[in-house]
């Protein structure tokens, strides 16, 4: 019988260094509302590679570079002067096909950066089935890293992490001794019949609501597209795998 | 009408610095299994003051000092050479009356230390009613700080935090925009009819189980004593208030 792999969830990037994980652990970054959903969407609509950068200034260095789209979001708003923001709907067009996307967001790109010494992939409800198959077939330990909001726990990332963790444990190839897995997976069970309502009091839904982005939230929770692409960090870039 | 005060939960000490709280916020430290339960128990049985220290060496400095009991726990075990460990039952004796307790534990004393520039009190199920009344009458913002386990989320502290948060919100004197409050309070609702079973898969219950400390766990979750003492940090010491 195959040895079970270990599964953990880290609820915010600031706790990441307290997880003693091995060098061959796979880190699955999630920033459900909206960075990792945007990443899945952009790949689905034909983006070639994605360069996640932490600072807005770093993103600006790509202005005018051929075949590059530059996107920036801070505090849930697209930044002025940039081609795109952090709404998945902006990426549903043929214009992005074959281009590279430079992306900086409040939390998601920070989480990717913190984990970059490990093998990093990104997940959303768009590619969750493919991510599940990939993790099961990899036979490696898994840490799901929630991006949170400015260093603080958020509900939506933990619900997604709970959903993925739950399915990994059901596969019988994983085991866990991690309280974040228990908590996230129990919260997911409470929420799964209507995640949109379950999140109605959450801080980020209120934030997006006040910004009139309910449509984005609905798409991130129940996307109308599916993708088998596993965005995988190779060097500085997320590539299709 | 009285202005509502803000309520937040910080799930691990490492996230504490990301909470932008005002100087007059009350910080409620919880390390349910077992440090803050031990603190409540020791005060209930007559300890005069408690000196929480971070390092074992610092605790050793108090060896032989008149009227001082020195207690140390690491990784759920009492340390050799010390008078007491981290089991509440050790403190149920007349011998501690009027003495000072020097205490160092894996997580709880660390959390107290991190928050010491604010007004800090400690809470457990032993003094939860008194803490609730105190927080309501204080008319201040509240942050409940979970001690976690070595920088990582734990389930039991968040259940306690959820219980306290839930009661504070029911009082109508508090409001929240914090996802940790939502999550903890929903987890508490799931667990409240049988917290002991709910925690059966949690990492720390497994740890204590393997150390034969189920009795301690039951006491911490459903204590047989009640206390109206609010352990309050004044300088280096927790005093009765």
Task: Give the minimum alpha-carbon distance from B45 to chain A in angstroms, rounded to a whole number.
Answer: 32
Contact A15 B19 (CB under 8 A): no
The pLDDT confidence band at residue B63, using thresholds 50, 70 and 90, is very high
* A39 burial level (CB within 10 Å; 0-12, 13-18, 19+): buried
How many other C-beta atoms can be found within 10 angstroms of the C-beta atom of residue A134? 18
When pLDDT is averaged across residues B13-22 and rounded to a whole number, the result is 93
Query: What does the alpha-carbon distance between residue B75 and residue B79 come to, in Å, rounded to a whole number?
Result: 9
Residue of B nearest to A198 (CA): B182
Please name which of A107, A69, A98, A78 lies closest in space to residue A216, comparing C-alpha atoms.
Answer: A78
Contacts of B125 (CB under 8 A, 6+ apart): B32, B37, B160, B220, B221, B222, B223
A107, two tokens: 């939390």
Contact B177 A203 (CB under 8 A): yes
Q: CA angle at residue B232 from B167 to B26, to 5 degrees?
A: 50
* Start-to-end Cα distance in chain B: 28
Contact A153 B183 (CB under 8 A): yes
Q: Is A94 on the interface with B (CB under 8 A)?
A: no
Cis omega (within 30 of 0) for bond into A120? no
The pLDDT confidence band at residue A83, using thresholds 50, 70 and 90, is confident
When pLDDT is averaged across residues A85-100 and rounded to a whole number, the result is 94
Q: Is A106 on the interface with B (CB under 8 A)?
A: no
Residue of B nearest to A207 (CA): B177
How many other C-beta atoms can be found within 10 angstroms of the C-beta atom of residue B25? 18
Contact B152 A180 (CB under 8 A): yes
Please name which of A34, A36, A30, A228 lies closest in space to residue A131, comparing C-alpha atoms.
Answer: A228
Residue pair A51/A100 in contact (Cβ under 8 Å)? The answer is yes
Q: Is A18 on the interface with B (CB under 8 A)?
A: yes
Residue pair B105/B31 in contact (Cβ under 8 Å)? The answer is yes
Strand partners, A138: none
Q: Which residue has the higher pLDDT, B76 or B164?
A: B164
Nearest by CB: A14 against B14, B154, B202: B14
pLDDT in tens, B156-197: 999 999 999 999 999 999 999 999 999 999 999 999 999 999
Q: Is A192 on the interface with B (CB under 8 A)?
A: no
Q: Is B152 on the interface with A (CB under 8 A)?
A: yes
The pLDDT confidence band at residue B213, using thresholds 50, 70 and 90, is confident
**Using CA of residue B210, residue B212, residue B216, residue B218, what is the dihedral sign?**
positive
Query: What does the alpha-carbon distance between residue A53 and residue A59 come to, in Å, rounded to a whole number?
Result: 6
Residue pair A50/A121 in contact (Cβ under 8 Å)? The answer is no
Q: CB-hemisphere CA count at 13 Å for A151?
A: 11
Residues in chain A: 241
Segment (H or E) for B163: helix B155-170
Residue bearing tokens 């034969």:
B212
Query: What does the alpha-carbon distance between residue B86 and residue B102 come to, in Å, rounded to a whole number?
Result: 12
Q: What is the CA radius of gyration of chain A?
A: 17
Q: Is A186 on the interface with B (CB under 8 A)?
A: yes
Contact B183 A180 (CB under 8 A): no
How many other C-beta atoms can be found within 10 angstroms of the C-beta atom of residue B118? 17
**ipTM exceeds 0.90:** yes
Contact B153 A182 (CB under 8 A): no
Contact A186 B183 (CB under 8 A): no
Please name which of A221, A205, A108 lies closest in space to residue B182, comparing C-alpha atoms.
Answer: A205
Residues of A in contact with B187 (CB under 8 A): 183, 186-187
* A196 burial level (CB within 10 Å; 0-12, 13-18, 19+): middle
Strand partners, A68: A100
Candidates A146, A151, A182: best to mutate against B (most CBs of B within 10 A) is A182
Strand partners, B77: B74
Residues of A in contact with B175 (CB under 8 A): none
Please name which of A138, A143, A108, A106 lies closest in space to residue A28, comparing C-alpha atoms.
Answer: A143
When pLDDT is averaged across residues B63-77 and rounded to a whole number, the result is 92
pLDDT above 80 for A223: yes
pLDDT in tens, B134-144: 999 999 999 99
Residue pair B188/B163 in contact (Cβ under 8 Å)? The answer is yes
Candidates B153, B162, B176: best to mutate against A (most CBs of A within 10 A) is B153
Task: Give the minimum alpha-carbon distance from B9 to chain A in angstroms, rounded to a whole number.
Answer: 10
Strand partners, A226: none
Contact A150 B12 (CB under 8 A): no
pLDDT above 80 for A211: no
Mean pLDDT of chain A: 94
B179, two tokens: 């996802």
B23, two tokens: 């100087």
Contact A204 B179 (CB under 8 A): yes
Number of CB pairs, chain A paired with chain B, less than 8 A apart: 80
* Start-to-end Cα distance in chain A: 28
pLDDT in tens, A110-132: 999 999 999 999 999 999 999 99
Q: Is B7 on the interface with A (CB under 8 A)?
A: no
B89, two tokens: 């039952």
What is the pTM for the complete model shown?
0.95
Please name which of B168, B157, B162, B152 lies closest in space to residue B182, comparing C-alpha atoms.
Answer: B162
Q: Is B55 on the interface with A (CB under 8 A)?
A: no
**Using CA of residue A55, residue A58, residue A64, residue A68, what is the dihedral sign?**
negative
Residue bearing tokens 């036979």:
A139
pLDDT for res B205: 78
User: Does residue B13 sit in helix, strand or coil?
Assistant: helix
Q: What is the CA radius of gyration of chain B?
A: 17
Contacts of A165 (CB under 8 A, 6+ apart): A7, A9, A144, A176, A181, A184, A185, A188
Residue bearing tokens 């004796």:
B93
A152, two tokens: 């603080």
When pLDDT is averaged across residues B8-22 and rounded to a whole number, the result is 95
Q: What are phi and psi of A208, to 5 degrees?
A: -70, -35
Contact B179 A152 (CB under 8 A): yes
């Amino acid at each position: 019988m195959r040895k079970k792999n270990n599964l953990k969830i880290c609820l915010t990037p600031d706790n990441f260094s307290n997880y003693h994980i091995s060098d061959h652990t796979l880190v699955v970054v999630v920033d459900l509302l909206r960075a990792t959903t945007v990443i899945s969407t952009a790949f689905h609509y034909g983006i070639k590679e994605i360069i996640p950068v932490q600072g807005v200034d770093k993103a600006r260095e790509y202005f005018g570079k051929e075949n590059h789209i530059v996107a920036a979001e801070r505090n849930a708003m697209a930044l002025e002067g940039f081609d795109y923001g952090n709404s998945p709907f902006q990426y549903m067009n043929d214009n992005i096909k074959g281009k590279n996307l430079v992306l900086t967001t409040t939390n998601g790109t920070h989480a990717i950066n913190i984990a970059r010494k490990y093998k990093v992939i990104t997940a959303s409800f768009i590619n969750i089935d493919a991510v599940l198959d990939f993790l099961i077939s990899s036979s490696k330990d898994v840490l799901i890293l929630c991006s949170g909001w400015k260093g603080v726990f958020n509900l939506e990332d933990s619900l997604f992490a709970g959903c993925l963790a739950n399915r990994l444990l059901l596969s019988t190839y994983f085991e866990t001794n991690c309280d974040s897995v228990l908590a996230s997976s129990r919260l997911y069970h409470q929420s799964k019949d209507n995640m949109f309502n379950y999140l109605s009091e959450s801080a980020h839904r209120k934030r997006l609501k006040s910004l009139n982005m309910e449509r984005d939230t609905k798409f991130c929770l129940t996307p109308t597209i599916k993708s088998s692409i596993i965005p995988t960090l190779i060097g500085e870039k997320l590539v299709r795998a």
